[in-house]
Amino acid sequence: MAHPRADDNGETRDIRLAVVGAGMRGHAYATEAAALPGVEVVAVAEKNPAALSRLRLLFPDARVFDDWQDLAAQPRLADAVIVSLPDHLHRDASVTFAEAGYDILLEKPIATSPEDCDDIENAALANGVSVTVCHVLRYTTYTQKLMQLLDAGAIGEIMQIEHLEPVGHHHFAHSFVRGNWARSATAHSLLLAKSCHDIDWLLHVMGRPVQRVSSFGSLGYFRKESQPAGASDRCVTCPVASSCAFDAARFYRSGLNNPGSSEEYNALVMAGEVTPEAIDRALETGPWGRCVYLCDNDVVDHQTVQMEFTDGRLASFTLTAFAEGSNRKTRLFGTAGQITGDGRMISVYDFRTLKTTVYDTDELGFDAAAGHGGGDRGLMRAFVSALRSSSPASMSSSISASMASHRVVFAAEEARQSGAVVTVAVPAV
């Protein structure tokens, strides 16, 4: 059944939000919400005291719950809930909040299996609520400018796309070797955890469905066979740490001198607090102090995905740990030109004039240094605007649009494991 919404006073009505999961992503979205007029976070559910205290600085009057289930058991407290829990909890939390009548802003991935994704979509439809997935790459100024150029025919018809996500060696070691997404049994595939953003973006840009996918990838480096001679099992006792690119002590201690940075947040994640004593203790005894070649990780460290869209259009996607952590790199090949982009700069080469035009999208809006190139802010602004107009189901990254790209991700992982070319099932419209 459809749930009644809050009184609609048009574009000016106040919006109440609840935040479930106050980690890095929940904090980022709440920070963007705090910057918007007429938006209030009225409830927070978070077990981690350090993460909770950071969010309470922004919203000291918000009601606090230790568990998302405690918040969901209350009469509906807000217009919408931001669900940024660990991925394996997305299904249960999203279904429960949908049944309670909340519109939902859901951190990617939707869930960790196709069946759980279907459950969330079905719960939203059954209860007359919306689910918007945080595919923030759709909402950057860069993407908006790129889509304008494509719609205007700047390169004619897109025939092929090459897209690279350079995960970055430190980020990969933190999250996918030592960290929470290192094992497929307890997390899920690297492609779903890190790059469902990118597959979704490629479908958005190409503007047509994927028919078939193939994929190759493996865990080629972060394993015992690659450990340097003489290395120990922990960085703090390792005689070759000074020459190792993945020295945990050097990496996490850098968070002490970079307040507000990703380095500080990584140190907070691994130590619980950003103090020399806490970081040293975590390096000596915790999982983030281990040698990257002796961890229990099993997700791939490099992968490619090849996609065949309708009408024979093609896209290739590469993600790799073996790169400087930087913006994504893309080349779009069209019938009348080529576009090269890096998340900020867009270079358009026109076959007809033989001229190149360059656009700096920092000059058009959010800068590339902002959260996801301004995508966090763009998403939150669009979501709040949609709530005010009672039209959140119209969001670009609605559950139905996001399900299409998630199906491609699940098919690509099937292709990688089986070595087959996999046909993507697209439900009839």
The pLDDT assigned to 261 comes to: 79
Same domain, 327 and 200: yes
387 found inside a domain: no
Burial label, 383 (beta-carbon count in 10 A; 0-12, 13-18, 19+)? buried
DSSP 182: S
The pLDDT assigned to 371 comes to: 52
C-alpha 178 chain-centroid distance: 19
3 found inside a domain: no
H/E stretch holding 50: helix 49-58
Distant-in-sequence, close-in-space partners of 193: CB < 8 Å, separation ≥ 6: 87, 109, 176, 181, 187, 299
Same domain, 204 and 239: no
Other beta carbons less than 10 A from residue 233's beta carbon: 13
Short-list 87, 136, 85, CA closest to 109: 87
Short-list 199, 263, 325, CA closest to 189: 199
Q: What is the CATH number of the domain that holds 96?
A: 3.40.50.720
AA letter at 274: V
Same domain, 16 and 145: no
| Phi, psi of 38, deg, nearest 5 | 75, 15
381 found inside a domain: no
Given 80, 102, 134, the domain boundary residue is 134
Beta-bridge partners for 214? 306
- Which residue segment(s) compose the domain that 173 sits in? 138-222+297-376+393-423
Short-list 409, 349, 328, 384, CA closest to 143: 328
Distant-in-sequence, close-in-space partners of 66: CB < 8 Å, separation ≥ 6: 45, 46, 47
Same domain, 165 and 302: yes
Beta-bridge partners for 20? 45, 83
Same domain, 171 and 182: yes
Q: Helix or strand or coil: residue 360?
A: strand
Q: Six-digit token pair at 43?
A: 């409830």
329 found inside a domain: yes
| CA pair distance 232, 133, nearest whole angstrom | 42
Distant-in-sequence, close-in-space partners of 26: CB < 8 Å, separation ≥ 6: 19, 20, 46, 51, 55, 82, 84, 107
- Helix (H), strand (E) counts: the chain: 13, 15
DSSP 373: G
Short-list 120, 124, 115, 144, CA closest to 205: 144
Same domain, 117 and 96: yes
| CA pair distance 146, 346, nearest whole angstrom | 7
314-to-163, 185, 305, 308 alpha-carbon distances in Å: 11, 31, 11, 5
Same domain, 123 and 150: no
Same domain, 301 and 187: yes
**pLDDT tens string 372-413:** 567 899 999 999 999 999 898 889 999 999 999 999 999 999
The pLDDT assigned to 8 comes to: 41
**pLDDT tens string 223-258:** 999 999 999 999 999 999 999 999 999 999 998 888
If you search the block for the tokens 């089986």, which residue do you land on? 418
Give the total number of structural domains in the chain: 3
AA letter at 183: R
Same domain, 105 and 184: no
| CA pair distance 137, 379, nearest whole angstrom | 9
Q: What is the CATH number of the domain that holds 146?
A: 3.30.360.10
Same domain, 122 and 252: no
Q: Six-digit token pair at 172?
A: 């990969």
Same domain, 64 and 188: no
Alpha helices in 286-428 (DSSP H): 375-388, 399-418
The pLDDT assigned to 365 comes to: 60
Own/partner long-range contacts of 337-340 (Cβ < 8 Å, ≥24 apart): 337/154, 337/155, 337/156, 338/155, 339/146, 339/149, 339/150, 339/154, 339/155
Given 289, 319, 339, the domain boundary residue is 289
230 found inside a domain: yes
116-to-33, 120, 194 alpha-carbon distances in Å: 28, 6, 18
362 found inside a domain: yes
* Per-block mean pLDDT, blocks of 10 residues, the chain (429 long): 42 86 90 91 90 86 94 96 95 98 97 96 96 95 96 98 96 94 88 95 96 97 96 96 95 87 84 91 95 96 97 97 92 98 96 97 63 79 93 90 95 97 77
